[in-house]
Chains A and B, each alone.
Chain A
Amino acid sequence: MTRTLWLGLLLVALIAAPLAIYPVLLMSILCFVIFASSFNLLLGYAGLLCFGHAMFFGTAAYVAGYLLKTYGVSVEVALIAGTLLSAAMGYVVGIISVRRSGIQFAMITLAISQFVYFLLLQAEFTGGEDGMQRIPRSTLFGIFDVSDHMAFYYVTLTVAVLAVAFFYRVVHSPFGEILRAIRDNEPRVESLGFRPERYKILAMTLSAGLAGLAGALKAMVFQFATLTDVSWPISAEVILMTLLGGLGTLTGPMLGAGIVILMNDELAQFGEWALIAQGVILLLVIIFFRRGVVGELSALWRRLRPSPDQNQDRG
């Protein structure tokens, strides 16, 4: 009951937010909330550490941008196309990488993402080093004009809410239960008659699809797509968001996304010192707050309330 109330209040706050805060900053946070959730699905719930998650994000950004620029498709078509293409990519990457685990899986995904990076660098349609500029925000459903930031904020908010709801559903589904079991003890899952690699491939597909949705949305928010979106720093940033917010908690990585984006925004004025500050913060989190912000908070909450509450945010 109280949870519904809190969610309601959060939604109201999000609806009112652009009156007080610059909408583009808010939209940027929302894109990364989706992206961090997609990464959390893999690492937090399937135990797969993907070092190249930006490939799904950046490729979808280019694809959505290309469709909008060249064919003038409507907003939702570009979003769906970016999502599906990234999901297909995730499926292929899954087939290649999922038999390996731990650091091997991480290295294979990193290698593939570097390959994708150079492919997009060389490709004609991406604009190479210059990136893809002036992506138009066409109409929504072919009717509604969403070209101004305020209007597009509500599109972004709707997409983000749907994406988070989808993420929640996957995690709390029969499939999600098997996935968490695989994360905890893969050989045991196999001994119970499952083929773990099939579940991991599906998790890769779903996660990549969500990452693609985030990337396509981001291309529309900023109205450009660049090589940065596919690059290693973006892959690293989503890892930072997840660890900072709290690995394996439902909301942690979303909060982490917000913190990192706001931090980048604040620190931007210090130039390259921003990166150093980011590094120091990550270091502090790893040393002192192993469970991330949400993980530490819910641990504190549990300690303060002796009677355990079943509704807590648990992996």
Chain B
Amino acid sequence: MENSTATAGDYALEARGLSKSFGSFYAVKDVDLKVRRGTIHALIGPNGAGKTTCFNLLTKTLTPTAGQVIYEGRDITGLRTAQVAKLGLVRSFQISATFPHLTCLENVRVALQSNHGKSFRFWSPLSAIRSLDPRAVELLEQVGLADAAHLQATELSYGKKRALEIATTLALDPKVMLLDEPTAGMGHEDLEPITELIRQVSAGRTILIVEHNLSVVSSLCERITVLQHGELLTEGTYDEVSNNEDVITAYMGGVDAL
């Protein structure tokens, strides 16, 4: 695959002229975004830049006022969240999105049931889906939760909940993963394992990540898109973006972080 001259077919996810307005206020305005297949792409910007709105538009949680979302060359603007998930575009949530009163194994098994076709069987015993357990355990092992398989999710630490969430998302074997601030609210001791985990699961996948922590961004992401006031500010590699005058001005107090 050639990297320098990318054609339309090289992009897993694209936004074209994406806008979302609430009354006269534009949360996101005319954003063009291209996420190249197989890369980790970051969406950053100061608070209120419209990152999360943009993210929600891409995952179909919100419906855009104007513009299109293209996934694998297909216009998915009119589809629902559940439909795009089936196509392989799966999101995570800013707040930890586990099923607190289910065990870790059950958490992952719910996701595995998505493509199993038995999820309406109210008359079958659970043994009907025991065949999913080995795969669920495998996924838990992958994120380092093998020991916790029979613990309820609510008993896990914050960092482990995020790991469980990633295992659940991986259960769908998504082509594109959209991660909404995966390290938000996380202590220092959890940062490194989660960053490493994201790098590990990115193999063979495309990842778009909304992230505040710029050191995480710099160590993980090949391309970075910067939003400000709901509009595209610039796009480039970490070095390009961090030396951009507009970005430095936009972040102001954040200069040191860059």
Q: CB within 8 Å of B: which residues of A?
A: 169-170, 172-178, 180-181, 183-185, 187-195, 198-199, 202, 206, 248, 310, 315
In the assembled complex, the Cα of A188 lies from the Cα of B110 at a distance in Å of 10
Give chain B residues whose Cβ lies under 8 Å from the Cβ of A178: 110, 113, 119
Query: Could you list 19 examples of A-B contacts with CB < 8 Å?
Result: A169-B123, A170-B122, A173-B123, A173-B125, A174-B113, A174-B118, A174-B119, A177-B106, A181-B99, A181-B110, A187-B93, A188-B98, A190-B81, A191-B82, A192-B85, A192-B110, A193-B82, A195-B82, A202-B120
Near A by CB (< 8 A), chain B positions 93-145 give 93, 97-102, 106-107, 109-111, 113-116, 118-126, 128-129
Most chain B beta-carbon neighbours within 10 Å: one of A188, A199, A310: A188
Complex Cα–Cα for A175 and B116 (A): 12
Which of A184, A195, A199 is within 8 Å of B102, CB to CB? A184
CA distance A223 to B225 in the complex (A): 72
Interface status of B168 (Cβ within 8 A of chain A): yes
Q: Is the CB of A193 within 8 A of B114?
A: yes
- Which residues on B sit within 8 Å (CB–CB) of A192? 85, 90, 110-111, 114, 168, 171-172
CB distance from A200 to the nearest CB of B (A): 12
B interface residues, how many (CB within 8 angstroms): 42
Contact B109 A177 (CB under 8 A): yes
Is there an interface contact between B125 and A169, defined as CB atoms closer than 8 Å?
yes
Residues of B within 8 A of A (CB): 59, 61, 80-83, 85-86, 90-93, 97-102, 106-107, 109-111, 113-116, 118-126, 128-129, 150, 168, 171-172
The docked-state distance in angstroms from the alpha carbon of A170 to that of B125 is 8
- The answer to whether A175 and B93 touch across the interface, beta carbons within 8 angstroms, is no
> Which residues does chain B contribute within 8 Å of A206, judged by CB atoms?
122
Among B59, B93, B113, B119, point to the contact of A188 (Cβ < 8 A): B93
Q: Judging by beta carbons under 8 Å apart, are B121 and A173 in contact?
A: yes
CB nearest to A184 among chain B residues: B99
